[in-house]
Amino acid sequence: MSQEVDGFGQVALIADAGEPLVFTLRSNDIDGSLTFQGVQAIPASWDRFEPYGLSPLGTVTVASLTGEVLIEEAAPILDALYQGDWVHIGLMQADKPLTVAVSNVRFPTAVTDFLDCKNQLLPMGYRQVRDSTFYLSPNAATLTAEEWHRIDGIARYIRSQNTIKAVLVDGYMNSNARSSVKLRQSKEIADEVASLFVEKGIAPALIEVRAHGGRYPQDEHQPAGKGRVRVRIVQL
């Protein structure tokens, strides 16, 4: 969703699958001298409220060559516009203050269409699903609620694509057990994760399970007594 700003350029709110909302501001006058100062919401005059700063916002970056401003996690900007406020972006250009005003005129209609499109996005995009790690005990292969959510998101992504070449499921087990035991345990936890994907509608022919036992070192996040399963998505 984008809007032209008279005398300056264009602002846009961008939504991608699995990513926080992003706000961008581009100047028609390509100039890398812009620096970001802050964001304020300006209520309508009849509301009798004072301007207020918008937070929490994510990381703000300014492109050194073009001066494009990118604000991550920009949901507060969307919320302010939707409730009827204007939004002022404070900048400095060549040591002079500059305010870019984002209007809420006709915004409610535009945001309804925008949110309809946003709600149709998958919960996770390729960046989130391409390489994931899960930690399981070979004696009780249970997942946390967050891990179940990730499994579901990965499965939904795979089902939505026709370019998936393979789903690689690799099991690893680091313990003091014999090598043969670790190999068997790594196969068990990898099979458990693979079976969850099959239950969620992923064709078994897409899934390749590999067991590595203790051949690879334990990673720094791996809980004691648990193995790890790495899931990677290979696209054409």
Q: State residue 19's pLDDT score.
A: 85
Domain ranges of the chain: 2-119, 126-235
Of 166 and 84, the one with more pLDDT: 166
Asked if residues 36 and 60 have their Cβ atoms less than 8 Å apart, the reply is yes
What's the mean pLDDT when you consider all of the chain? 86
Element (H, E) at 93: strand 86-93
Q: In terms of Cα–Cα distance, which of 87, 83, 113, 82 is closest to 25? A: 87
CA 193 to CA 227: how far, in whole Å? Answer: 12
CA 66 to chain centre: 25
Helix 145-160 to helix 179-199 angle, to the nearest 10 degrees? 60
By percentage, how much of the chain surpasses pLDDT 90? 35
Query: For 150-159, what is the mean pLDDT?
Result: 94
**What percentage of the chain has pLDDT greater than the value 70?**
95
Q: With 80 as the cut, is the pLDDT of residue 78 above it?
A: yes
Helices 107-119 + 75-82 axis angle, to 10: 140
Residue 159 has pLDDT above 70, yes or no: yes
pLDDT value of residue 48: 64
What pLDDT band is residue 22 in, cutting at 50, 70 and 90?
Answer: very high
pLDDT at site 170: 96
Please tell me the class of the 126-235 domain.
alpha beta
Structure tokens at 208: 């390749």
pLDDT of residue 98: 85
Q: How far apart are CA 60 and CA 185, in angstroms?
A: 45
CB hemisphere CA count around 70 (13 angstroms) = 13
Please name the fold of domain 2-119.
Answer: Immunoglobulin-like (2.60.40)
| Residue 86 bridge partners (DSSP) | 42
- The confidence score (pLDDT) of residue 118 equals 83
Name the amino acid, one letter, at 21. Answer: L
Question: Among 3-7, 113-117, 133-137, which stretch is predicted with the lowest mean pLDDT?
Answer: 3-7
CA 136 to CA 80: how far, in whole Å?
Answer: 43
- Predicted confidence (pLDDT) per residue in 179-232, tens digit: 899 999 999 999 999 999 999 999 999 999 999 998 887 677 777 778 999 999
Task: Answer whether 131's CB lies under 8 Å from 234's CB.
Answer: no
Please compute the mean of the pLDDT values over residues 131-137 and round it to a whole number.
92
pLDDT tens, residue by residue, 28-53: 776 667 788 889 998 876 666 788 88
Q: Residue 164: pLDDT above 80?
A: yes
Q: Where are the alpha helices (DSSP H) in the chain?
A: 75-82, 107-119, 126-129, 145-160, 179-199
- Higher per-residue confidence, 173 vs 140: 173
